[in-house]
A and B are shown apart, each in its own frame.
Chain A
Amino acid sequence: MRHLTYYQAVREALWQALEADPRVFLLGEDIATYGGVYKVTEGLLERFGPDRVIDTPISENAIIGAATGAAIAGMRPIAEIQFADFIASGFDPLVNMTSTIHYRWGQPVPMVLRAPAGATWASAGPFHSQSMEAWFAQIPGLKVVMPATPADAKGLLTAAIRDPNPVIVLEQKYLYRRMTGPVPEGEHVVPIGEAQVAREGRDATIVAWGTMAFKSLQAAEILAAEGIDVEVVDLRSIVPWDRETVLASVAKTGRVAVVYEAHRTAGFGAEVAATIAEEAFQALDAPILRLAGLDTPIPAHPVLEAEYLPDEHKVVEAVRGLVGF
């Protein structure tokens, strides 16, 4: 199969959706003439014109509110927030209005909110590095996906565009230009809510998502060389999440590490760990292990950032402990 880089896969999903569905349009800051700060939307203005690829002022609240309005008026808006951290500037309409419309009056809100999220391992600092899936996982009515491969970047975005609900796609900026992989050329949909066993193994399970799934696979290679055979479950979707696949893997290995980049406390990994404890306690041969970001803002200096972030080496160390328990 043909290979694409992560950001190219995102662009292809946008391109194909714009081709296929006249209701689809994009709005966001610097996405049209500039092509986006990560050049994800480059070339779309030239092909689809300024009514479908719209540069907005710096107005996150209005972008999210407008996407909501256009969605209930029959369009399929795809809003980009330049950095996921700035969703905070439009948090209110998202968590109070957008998320409750269908529950309160039965009106679907088929919109997508895309944003580059996560750390860069390049000193992006406290306001361009956050992983905020747990902010949204707390809000009923919002779906959340975090693709970790180019194929999933295309497939999950396509699923999000077709979904009748608001879906937040937290694209992994660390992977944009770092990860290349096979991506189907035509229509490609990855159903929201299905995890993927990214690597099979017998000795322990790692549950991870986004960039941490990527790092966990690297860790699994290192561990394999030591004779430790790890299964990696890439969650892919946060809301809804695939309990069955996770629980089946835990039942098989009896040991589980939950690895996430966000702050440890009340992070989404806590939900995963609690569910495993509730549903699969008998299957566990070792306490559930959580490896996550620290409970501090994400610092800029490389020494501090490295201390903050989980990475493949920390995963290796954690899994060694888990297997040796």
Chain B
Amino acid sequence: MSLTDEHRRQLYYYMRLSRAVEDAAWALNNQGRMVGRLYTGHGQEAIPVGAAYALEPEDVIAPMYRDMGAHLVRGVDPVEVFAQFMGKRDSSNMGKDSGLHIGDMSRGIVGMISVLPDSLPVALGVALAFKIRKEPRVALTTFGDGSTSTGAFHEAVNMAAVLQVPLVLVCENNGWALSTPNAREYAAANLVDKAVGYGIPGRHVDGNDVEAVHAAVSEAAALARAGGGPTLIECRTMRMRGHSNIDPADYVPPEMLAEWAERDPIHRYRARIEAAGLWDAEREAGLEAELQERIDQAIHQAEAMPEPEPEDVHVGVFAE
């Protein structure tokens, strides 16, 4: 899919919306108005936005906890996000789970669990179902660099390769797995080198360039849809905040943060679309005001929703 001017403005919009929702959530969390902690994708927005935007509506995505933008692109409203973060009764997880663990197969979203990276084999299974039914659909999953150290990663990628299922594997390599730097997670020169061992194509892209991510995922999805099997895409980025909102991350060298701040995906993309004549200060001011209002309203609406009742704890262990 090549990008029109409108598409490009939308990519920018979703990255901005993602950051605005997360910034607001950060404040809410600090004020004790959320259930559980907050893990943000600050600085990584180009990956979930670019990846999700490259999918067709009937495709399925199994996002990770930093992928606010993927949810927004799939049509999750900020009201739903805040309701989920507040553990409201009518939120996706109904207060039973928390964080960005939203699941909704009607919109093609697999809800993750904390255990890493358990969505990976599940996404493989979704892709397998598509393959068996001969549907031209793909599954896409995202995961961190650290998550590739698990047995689940190895088994899922290997099996996806052997079965040639339509799966796109997007690694968000943000340099860190909690306090553990890349060099303590894997010894390969580049994470994407792992693809060679599995016999699948590997792509290395600038994860802070939303169009580069979009292009790589579009190509991998087209290959998968045509029966060409899985692709591993390593998106290089940087975790710009602590692991969660309570992690001061003093183990991250300040120079590293400063260097990556220069490459902020949102600022970079704004400059790019401005240079292309698609964006200007006036549009920016309009967007700013729109986001402000949308977020304020969403928080307001979410907060007015009912809390779970104690007896709800028993509901839903088994399907009827």
* Chain A positions near chain B (C-beta within 8 angstroms): 29-30, 33-34, 37, 55, 57-62, 85-86, 88-89, 123-128, 294-297, 299-304, 306-308
Contacts and interface: CB of A to CB of B under 8 A. Distances in A.
Contacts of A128: 114
A57 B308 contact: no
Contact of A59 (B98, B113, B151): B151
Given A30-B179, A86-B115, A89-B115, A294 B313 contact: yes
A41 to B, nearest CB: 12
Contact of B147 (A58, A62, A307): A58
Contacts of B116: 58
Contact of B113 (A34, A37, A124, A126): A126
Contact of A30 (B114, B180, B186, B313): B180
A127 B115 contact: yes
Interface in B129-157: 146-147, 149-152
Most A Cβ at <10 Å: residue of B93, B151, B307, B309 = B151
A179 B99 CA distance: 29
B178 A29 contact: yes
Interface string B175-198: 001111000111000000000000
B178 A30 contact: yes
A39 B99 CA distance: 23
B98 A33 contact: no
Given A34-B178, A308-B313, A85 B87 contact: no
B312 A304 contact: yes
B114 A85 contact: yes
Contacts of A123: 35-36, 87, 98
Given A62-B151, A127-B115, 11 more contacts: A58-B180, A88-B115, A123-B36, A123-B87, A126-B96, A127-B113, A294-B314, A299-B96, A299-B313, A303-B309, A306-B310
Contact of B180 (A29, A300, A306, A308): A29
B97 interface: yes
B98 A300 contact: yes
Interface in B224-262: 251
A65 to B, nearest CB: 10
A89 B93 contact: no
Nearest to B99: A125
Contact of A307 (B99, B178, B179, B310): B310
A296 B95 CA distance: 13
A215 to B, nearest CB: 19
A272 B183 CA distance: 48
Interface residues of B, number: 36
Most B Cβ at <10 Å: residue of A29, A58, A59 = A58
Contacts of B115: 85-86, 88-89, 127
Contacts of A30: 178-180
A11 B281 CA distance: 56
Contacts of B184: 55, 57
B149 A58 contact: yes
A66 to B, nearest CB: 13
B258 to A, nearest CB: 21
A297 B96 CA distance: 8
B304 interface: no
Given A34-B251, A88-B115, A300 B36 contact: yes
Contacts of A303: 95, 307-310
B50 to A, nearest CB: 25
A124 B96 CA distance: 10
Given A89-B115, A300-B96, A301-B87, A124 B36 contact: yes
Contacts of A29: 178, 180
A125 B98 contact: yes
A294 B317 CA distance: 11
B313 A296 contact: yes
Contacts of A58: 116, 146-147, 149-150, 177, 180, 185
A25 to B, nearest CB: 16
Contacts of A294: 313-314
The 3 closest A-B pairs by CB, nearest first: A301-B95, A57-B149, A34-B179
A301 B313 CA distance: 10
A158 B86 CA distance: 42
A195 B60 CA distance: 52
A283 to B, nearest CB: 35
Contacts of A89: 115, 150-152
A86 B117 CA distance: 11
A300 B93 CA distance: 9
A37 B95 CA distance: 25
B308 A126 contact: no
B186 A300 contact: no
B312 to A, nearest CB: 6
A180 to B, nearest CB: 22
Contacts of B312: 304
A93 to B, nearest CB: 10
B180 A57 contact: yes
A55 B97 CA distance: 29
B105 to A, nearest CB: 19
A126 B185 contact: no
A59 B150 contact: yes
Contacts of B308: 299, 301, 303-304
Contacts of A57: 146, 149, 177, 180, 184-186
A35 to B, nearest CB: 9
Contacts of B179: 30, 33-34, 55
A89 B116 CA distance: 9
B97 A125 contact: yes
A297 to B, nearest CB: 7
Contacts of B152: 89
